[in-house]
Structure 1
């Protein structure tokens, strides 16, 4: 069984890599952005889906070590 510190470091590395990737890409294509006058509405639908998939994979991998 993996130790908790190793799991936390792995999750941290994954989030760090994802953060660097998003900084390099900039805005994720597919996110919804409306600008009209002084009003701006931003809904990161694609970003939410990507984060959900990554978290699902991580949690699935972690559940196999129990």
Structure 2
């Protein structure tokens, strides 16, 4: 049985720090501005079906917007 060998380099550490900073930043934004972020998930194009005993919610536009923002952030980070 071979053990999985994980090699760590400086890039992995840098990426972990960046991911941690992004999570902390998102937490701060949500904590202080939660009342102003009510529109997230209620954009035009988000699919919502509510019936008597059934709810279906698919935030299509919200996911597209989040994907665009994350893609721009990653592209910006790779540039520097």
TM interval, shorter chain, is: 0.5 to 0.7
Two-structure CA RMSD over aligned residues (Å): 3.0
Alignment CA distance shift 1:21-1:53 (3 Å): farther
Match of 2:30 in 1: 21
Structure 1: which 5+ runs fail to align? none
Higher relative contact order (CA 8 A, sep 6+): 1
**Secondary structure at 1:33 match in 2:** strand
Rg larger for: 2
Aligned residues: 64
- Choose which of 10, 13, 18 in structure 2 pairs with 1:10: 18
Structure with the largest fraction of strand? 1
Aligned to 2:3: none
What does the per-residue CA deviation read over 1:30-58, in whole Å, with 9 as the maximum and x for residues that have no partner?
13322111111101123212321222123
Paired position in structure 2 for 1:61:
76
Greater helix share, structure number:
1
